[in-house]
Structure 1
Amino acid sequence: MPDHARGLLIALGGVLLISFDALLVRLAAAPHWDIIFWRGWLICLTLLAWMLLSGHRLRLPPAAGDRWLILGAVLMLSGNTTLFVLSVSHTAAANTVVILAASPFFAALFSWLFLEEAVPLRTWVAILVAVSGVLIVFGGGVGGATSSGDFYALLLALFVGGQLTILRRYPTIPRLPLIAISGAVAGLMALPFATPLSLTPQTYLVVGVMGIAQMPLAMVMMAVATRYLPSPEVSLCLLLETVLGPIWVWWVLSEAVPSLTLIGGGLILATVAVHAWLALREEKT
């Protein structure tokens, strides 16, 4: 299988798993900090156990500058969940998601600036069209006022683009140890604000699914995809989460999906499909 096709399948599989995140958080019915605490530590412990069984080890580059970049990627990975929660708490959810949709722009910019990767015209066009689809999905929910929540969302978009670019630069660095460490960091950040031993059995069950199965596998797949795909393309695939997330919530909890979500979602799905087809055809040529 060509590298691009393999990377695309891995990235889309990771996005599919991530898209269940909103539904699972809703089913957990617990304070955000408690969810962050348990999910972070469960991700860490699950991946550490797998590393012991599979023989994965953390191998850092010899240069000090490269090690600092890897540390930056770990901090970005751990900060994503926290920044998302902070943004939603301080601004409209539509603002958060629309600003987060800028992450492909940052990934493309960082790849061009720091990795000297030429970003194909089709990728720039696909990013613009897909972001237009996100704007359609959340049209009418975006306010013009600037707030701290908007700043958190912008920082989150920077983190997503930055971490994908750093991982793209170091394709041979094992991903599992980095994600395991990022889970521990997220759990430590949530500790001062969480009451992790006061949850219901249902919450523990749902958080267990998130921390042991869903999020570790999704994060690993998204990180591994950067070995085969440029970071802008991996980030572009993440836009599918804005479509699939509401669909799962509607399916399980019977929350209606607005018509704009169907229109914008169709545009995003078509854009990613056409972009993938063009990329595969170009690689075969």
Structure 2
Amino acid sequence: MGSEIGYRRGMALVVGAAVLWSLMGLAIRLMGDAGTWQILFYRSLGLVPVLFLVILHRSGGRPLPRIRAAGWPALIGGTGLVFAFAGAIFAIRTTTVANAVFLFAATPLMTAVMAWLLLKEPVRPATWVTIVVAGVGIFVMVREGLAIGAGLGNLAALLSASGFAAFTITLRWGRLGDMLPAVLIGGVLSAVVAAAVISARGESFALSLGAVAIALFMGAGLLGLGMAIYTAGSRAVPAVEIGILSMAEVMLAPVWVWLFLNEGASAGTFLGGAVLLGAIALNALTGMRHKTVVPPG
């Protein structure tokens, strides 16, 4: 397929983004007892300047018209990202990284259901089967989480997945071809909401210098740079293949915390995660097989 960057380079960029995002759980673990809203605040401060500079570059030095053109869909989608970002951080802090990221993987299925309900987009029969099978995997993981006292973490992970799904649906509804303005708005809103919550609770913004550095790196390096190269690569790779390549994030995230922090996960978590990921991969593969008769998007 024709592309300004080429198919193979596009694949490498998408996988590279997934690898960067997979380090998020390890980074949050390394921040010790930093709170969810503190992490979200400083991570957002790292994210926003990077995305603004990327938009500045891609817009030929005119970022504000590009951001304003995104309009209400970007604002609504950015609000969804606040729930997605905060839920993800809370989930990783209160349950195992493996459990959290496996539940995050349900995002494409939630997106399909939301698109069917809100946008009247058709859902392939194979996707409905995937949703049912994936539901079994989610049930196994949530039940396991309740058993080990991580029920709130599991619910937060599902809330995060719902937030990302809502973000995706909003982009489709607004027919936005570039997600970066919406993510930028989401980063600004996240910083504002986090600051408001910290202030309302009478908590401190103070963290150790090391924790602040990690949070800023998460925003600028892992999330911001990851978003930039993902959006560049996704222009050259079919959507169904992006879904499969992005699974590298889910597979690698538990590996990093196991290698560096010796954090494992229960058999139930891996069993449920295997069922969920298997269902999603099978759905993506059937989508690739039928992509000549089923129009994308």
2:30 corresponding residue in structure 1: 27
Deviations for 1:43-76, whole angstroms, at most 9, x for unmatched residues?
11111122223326354798xxx94333211111
Aligned 1:210-229 pairs, distance under 5 A: 210-219=218-227, 229=239
Write the distance in 2 (CA, Å) between the matches of 1:131 and 1:222: 28
Is residue 113 of structure 2 the alignment partner of residue 109 of structure 1?
Answer: yes
Report if aligned partners of 1:167, 1:223 keep a CA contact under 8 Å in 2: no
Write the distance in 2 (CA, Å) between the matches of 1:46 and 1:111: 30
Is residue 279 of structure 2 the alignment partner of residue 275 of structure 1?
Answer: no
Q: Which moved more, 1:130-139 or 1:68-77?
A: 130-139
Write the distance in 1 (CA, Å) between the matches of 2:152 and 2:30: 28
Structural RMSD (CA): 4.2
TM-score by length of structure 2 reads: 0.71
1:176 corresponding residue in structure 2: 180
Q: How far apart are 1:188 and its partner, in Å?
A: 1.3
1:163 corresponding residue in structure 2: 167
Is residue 208 of structure 2 the alignment partner of residue 200 of structure 1?
Answer: yes
1:18 corresponding residue in structure 2: 21
Write the distance in 2 (CA, Å) between the matches of 1:11 and 1:124: 26
Report if aligned partners of 1:24, 1:210 keep a CA contact under 8 Å in 2: yes
Q: CA distance change for structure 1 residues 271 and 109 in 2, over 3 Å: closer, same or farther?
A: closer
Is residue 267 of structure 2 the alignment partner of residue 259 of structure 1?
Answer: yes
TM-score by length of structure 1 reads: 0.73
Report if aligned partners of 2:40, 2:190 keep a CA contact under 8 Å in 1: yes
Identify unmatched segments of 5+ residues in structure 1.
none
Q: CA distance change for structure 1 residues 17 and 277 in 2, over 3 Å: closer, same or farther?
A: same
Q: How far apart are 1:153 and its partner, in Å?
A: 6.0
Q: SS at the partner of 1:141?
A: helix
Q: How far apart are 1:83 and its partner, in Å?
A: 3.8
Write the distance in 2 (CA, Å) between the matches of 1:184 and 1:8: 29
Q: SS at the partner of 1:174?
A: coil
Paired residue total: 275
Report if aligned partners of 1:38, 1:207 keep a CA contact under 8 Å in 2: yes
Write the distance in 2 (CA, Å) between the matches of 1:130 and 1:14: 24
Q: CA distance change for structure 1 residues 61 and 214 in 2, over 3 Å: closer, same or farther?
A: closer
Write the distance in 2 (CA, Å) between the matches of 1:150 and 1:28: 20
Identify unmatched segments of 5+ residues in structure 2.
none
